[in-house]
């Protein structure tokens, strides 16, 4: 049996991939489509940091690219962790460089 988080992530991925690249989606529509789960925001933030979504203003997100079908929750955790480490290292490098 799949976990609730696995199902939420897959529904979020399905919703995003059903839209056109460049289309604006709204946070309230994610909750209407999937349900009122706090993990939706966690996954949405990760997908934004990873470049799949772009935050326009509160509750509005532009789809930059579709999420690969084989991309799952484990991949999102790993990619998010690597991205954060790279961003942190880049900030430290820029700080030390000056």
Read off the tokens for 60.
Answer: 């509005």
Where do the domains of the chain lie, and which CATH numbers do they carry? 4-97 (1.10.10)
Q: What is the pLDDT of residue 36?
A: 79
**Long-range residue pairs from 48-53, CB within 8 A, at least 24 positions apart, any chain:** 49/80, 49/83, 49/84, 50/76, 50/79, 50/80, 50/83, 52/16, 53/16, 53/25
pLDDT at 22 over 90: yes
Q: Average pLDDT for residues 27-56, to the nearest whole number?
A: 89
Q: Considering only 38-42, 50-54, 55-59, 88-92, which range has the smallest mean pLDDT?
A: 88-92
pLDDT at 95 over 70: no
């Amino acid at each position: 049996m799949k976990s609730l988080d696995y199902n939420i992530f897959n529904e979020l991925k399905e919703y995003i991939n059903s839209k056109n690249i460049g289309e604006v989606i709204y946070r309230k529509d994610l909750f209407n489509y999937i349900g009122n789960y706090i993990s939706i925001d966690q996954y949405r933030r990760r997908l934004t940091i990873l470049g799949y979504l772009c935050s326009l203003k509160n509750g509005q997100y532009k789809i930059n690219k579709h999420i690969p079908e084989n991309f799952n929750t484990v991949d999102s955790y790993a990619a998010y962790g690597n991205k954060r480490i790279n961003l942190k290292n880049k900030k430290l490098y820029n700080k030390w460089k000056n």
